[in-house]
Amino acid sequence: MSDPSLPLQIAIVAALKAADVAADRIYDTVPPNAVFPYVSISGSQVLPDKADCIDGTEVFVQLDAWSRAQGYPEVMGIAGSVVDALDDEPLAVDGFHLVVFEMQSLNYLRDPDGLTRHAAISFRALLQPV
């Protein structure tokens, strides 16, 4: 099984930047003084998906949108832009054929600081090496 998580992350970031999501503030590691709003990549889970004559990989990725604007409208708008840019889109993943990329869940949260709104968006990808 080849691990497609890094080339998938590169494709995700490229798609989000092409769609101008969060003014291109998309982070793997969030800088200490990041300007809100922004999107962060929380991590991924990689699972083998083997069947007859198929050497596939299933990857679950979580993206998070963050806002300090009052209420939920801004973070909901960013989350909607993330979903529009990625859900069922034919992302170009270097070295892999992307069979499917779909949103699995979207949760809106109020962070304990009382100021920050957070959207947790999880996606599922099924890939095969080319």
Residues 6+ apart with CB under 8 A from 23: 37
CB 86 within 8 A of CB 15: yes
Closest Cα partner for 14 from 32, 41, 42?
Answer: 41
Structural domains in the chain, CATH included, are 5-129 (3.30.2000.30)
Tell me: the pLDDT tens digits for 52-78? Answer: 677 899 999 999 999 999 999 999 999
Tell me: the pLDDT tens digits for 30-48? Answer: 999 999 999 999 989 999 8
